[in-house]
């Protein structure tokens, strides 16, 4: 069966450090992968989309990599700030051509 796995444990880091979140998937052959941010009590908000032929994509302090051989995407936030604290979700198109989400990883950036 298709699975999207993200570390369910919270990631705690110090302000200024780089946060790295992982998204692993099985039984998918995605043409692209998306990352969303979700704050408590709010809906998810789109951050980045990376295509299968793109190894890396950047947007300001965010960087996403996509390794279709390892079936893994890494999401990096450089120079992290307390305002980056949130849950980050990866999402893939499933066999039914619908966007499905991983369970998300909660990031806590301490000042």
Binding-site size for another protein (CB under 8 A) equals 22
Residues 6+ apart with CB under 8 A from 98: none
Find the Cα–Cα–Cα–Cα dihedral 46, 52, 57, 63, rounded to 10°: 70
Q: Residue 60 — left, alpha, or beta (φ > 0 → left; ψ -120 to 50 → alpha)?
A: left
User: What's CA 103's distance to the chain center, in Å?
Assistant: 10
**CB 13, CB 111: distance < 8 Å:** no
Contact status: 111 vs another protein (CB under 8 A): no
Contact call for residue 28 and another protein (CB under 8 A): no
Residue 11 binds another protein (CB under 8 A): no
The residues in 65-84 that bind another protein, with binding defined as CB under 8 A, are none
- What's the CA gap between 28 and 68, in Å, rounded? 10
Residue 84 CB, shortest distance to another protein, in Å, is 19
- Residue 91: CB minimum distance to another protein, A: 8
Minimum CB distance to another protein smaller for 53 or for 97: 97
Least distance between another protein and beta carbon 75 (Å) = 16
Residues that bind another protein (CB under 8 A): 30-32, 34, 41-46, 49, 89, 93, 96-104
């Amino acid at each position: 069966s298709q699975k999207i796995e993200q570390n369910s444990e919270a990631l705690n880091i110090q302000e200024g450090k780089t946060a790295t979140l992982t998204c692993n998937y099985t039984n998918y052959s995605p043409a692209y992968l998306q990352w969303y941010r979700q704050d408590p009590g709010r809906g998810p908000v789109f951050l980045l989309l990376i295509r299968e032929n793109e190894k890396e994509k950047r947007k300001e302090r965010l960087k996403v990599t996509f390794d279709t051989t390892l079936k893994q995407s890494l999401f990096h936030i450089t120079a992290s700030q307390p305002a980056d604290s949130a849950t980050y979700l990866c999402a893939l198109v499933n066999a039914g051509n619908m966007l499905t989400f991983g369970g998300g990883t909660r990031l806590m950036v301490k000042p």
